[in-house]
Amino acid sequence: MCLKKWRCISTSMGCTSAEAEDRSIDTEELITKLWQTLDDRSAIDPVILDVRGVSSITDYFVIATGTSPPHLRALSEEIEIPLKRAGEVLYKRSGIPDSGWIILDFVDVVVHLFTEEVRAYYALEKLWSDGKVLCDF
């Protein structure tokens, strides 16, 4: 998937036209909206992992840290509410802010919102290190 409009992605990704056609624009737009929301709402260390070919459950992970349970709640709401209004379907939501981990499953994209301690404990970036980091701060 060509991700040229993301300011953090280099044009040297080497996207072919066939790769661009393989992915729907909807997924690219979803990831772009997620990234912008995380940036606008001061999420810490957001990362986008391309796990196609590595995971059978999704194509992308978006991982970010909130500073506290209220920040996690705000991040989650700022992602969910506008996307729902735009017609995007949230397949499943798991976790609560006080647990330190909220998962928002949009099928092709799964968002993981963590507190710092919980993110360090589960270390998803390390667990899914065979995936390609597309974007990080």
Q: Give pLDDT, residue 20.
A: 38
For residues 93 and 53, what is the distance between their CA atoms, to the nearest angstrom? 24
Half-sphere exposure of 117 (CA within 13 A, CB side): 6
Q: Report the pLDDT value the prediction gives residue 110, as an integer from 0 to 100.
A: 96
- Find the helix packing angle between 69-85 and 25-40, rounded to 10°: 140
What's domain 24-136's superfamily in CATH?
Beta Polymerase, domain 2 (3.30.460.10)
pLDDT in tens, 61-106: 999 999 999 999 999 999 998 888 888 889 999 999 999 999 999 9
| Cα 99 from Cα 113, distance rounded (Å) | 11
